[in-house]
Chain A
Amino acid sequence: MIQLEQDILSKNNGYASENRRHFADHGILALNLVSSPGSGKTSLLVRTIQEIGGDLACNVIEGDQQTSADAERIRETGAPAIQINTGKGCHLDAHMVGHAVEHLSPADGGVLFIENVGNLVCPASFDLGEAHKVAILSVTEGEDKPLKYPDMFAASDLVLVNKTDLLPHLDFDIEAAIANARKVNPAIRVLKVSARTGEGMGAWIAWIKAARAMALAGHETLKAGE
């Protein structure tokens, strides 16, 4: 008998720690965007990068099982983007992200958005070294999503409720959806946005800038708010 007491995901967690150290050394705010397929992650990123404009350097890692279409959509904004195809894999892991960071070499003091594979189950377990997971829930999905996929909402610090422009056409109860998310995670923040009309983008970008200021707090050479 060999006593191990070793975490099954210890290898991934080791790579995640390396990524986190790299991000800290370079004052990079890394955000891991998670959602079901089609919730609007790529659309939101495109709009976010356009609205951030020259305020902050944005870099993107796109995770999808197939195709590099989403990375191309991001590059059209002028932001550097790299695609990771996971093939049969249903989530990004920290090792893949570490390699992508090497190739992309995101700018010091900037924001690195990581769009995870569309899936509300597996990405919850795989730490990538990000500062925050941000869950995107679109109003076409049903207000019980946070209860059906509690691990993801427990692991996220912020939920973006997207596609609010469609609310008049649906019977989605947005307050019930928010209440469900808070049952799973009482501390979770919620912002209502539309990647289509731009509603709520100001608050989301303010959140990003505040998170970035935290990422830079105490940094030797890069200073927050510059």
Chain B
Amino acid sequence: MHEMAICESILGILKDQAAKQQFSRVQRVCLEIGPLSGVEIDALRFGFDVVMKDSLAEGAVLEIDETQAQAWCMPCGGTVPLKQRFDPCPNCGSHQLQVTAGEEMRIKELEVD
């Protein structure tokens, strides 16, 4: 259950930003999470509410933008979509794939006051 640790990292960033950018409340947090990031969205939502309790982001809305995973297929010489890490290339069946997108775990933007 590292989603708790991830939520604590988010709270750490919110506090740093609050000091830097002079705000005291966070109303909305927008994240970008890739399907290969190892994050379970449901667990993250649950952990978010627990960790943000009694903080500057208590009750904040959590918006999650789930990105698509992609890989570079060496035999095809092109970018292909990927659902899971161990899936073969949908065009040629090869496993010679290099993940190029889908590992994102980012805070995109905040709504604050």
Is A175 close to B, CB under 8 A? no
**In chain A, residues 43-94, which have Cβ atoms closer than 8 Å to a Cβ of chain B?**
89-91, 93
The segment out of A23-31, A100-108, A118-126, A193-201 that lies at the interface is: A118-126
Taken together as a complex, chains A and B put the C-alpha atoms of A7 and B86 apart, in Å, by 25
The interface residues of chain B lying within 8 Å CB-to-CB of A138 are none
* Contact, CB under 8 Å: B9 / A8: yes
| A208 close to chain B: CB less than 8 A | no
Chain A proximity mask over B32-45: 1 for CB below 8 Å, otherwise 0: 00001110000000
Complex Cα spacing A226 to B99, Å = 38
Contact A7 B106, beta carbon cutoff 8 Å: yes
Number of interface residues of B (CB under 8 A): 31
A-B contact count (CB 8 A): 85
Whether the Cβ atoms of B5 and A184 lie closer than 8 Å is no
Q: Which of A127-135, A146-154, A164-172, A217-225 makes up part of the contact surface?
A: A146-154
A10 and B6 CA atoms in complex are apart in Å by 11
Cα distance A182–B96 in the bound complex, in angstroms: 9
Q: Contact between A1 and B111 (Cβ–Cβ < 8 Å)?
A: yes
* Bound-complex Cα distance A91 to B1 (A): 10
Q: Is A11 an interface residue (CB 8 A)?
A: yes
Nearest residue in A to B84 (C-beta to C-beta)? Answer: A150
Q: How far is the CA of A218 from the CA of B74 in the complex (A)?
A: 32
A36, chain B: closest CB distance, angstroms: 15
Judge whether A2 and B6 touch: CB under 8 Å. no
The distance from the CB of A89 to the nearest CB of chain B, in whole angstroms, is 7
Judge whether B2 and A122 touch: CB under 8 Å: yes
Contacts of B1 in A (CB 8 A): 90, 122
Which chain B residues lie closer than 8 Å to A90 at the CB level? 1-2, 5
Query: B31 in the interface, Cβ–Cβ < 8 Å?
Result: yes
Known contacts A2-B21, A4-B17; 10 additional CB pairs below 8 A are A2-B23, A2-B112, A3-B109, A5-B106, A8-B6, A9-B6, A9-B9, A126-B2, A147-B86, A183-B88
By Cβ-Cβ distance, the 7 closest A-B pairs, closest first, are: A122-B2, A150-B85, A183-B86, A151-B38, A2-B110, A8-B105, A4-B107
Question: Which residues on B are within 8 Å of A, measured CB to CB?
Answer: 1-2, 5-6, 9-10, 12-13, 17, 21, 23, 31, 36-38, 84-86, 88, 95-97, 99, 105-112
20 A-B pairs (CB sep. < 8 Å): A1-B109, A2-B109, A4-B17, A5-B107, A6-B106, A6-B107, A7-B106, A8-B6, A8-B13, A9-B105, A90-B5, A121-B38, A125-B38, A125-B105, A126-B5, A150-B85, A150-B86, A151-B36, A182-B95, A183-B95
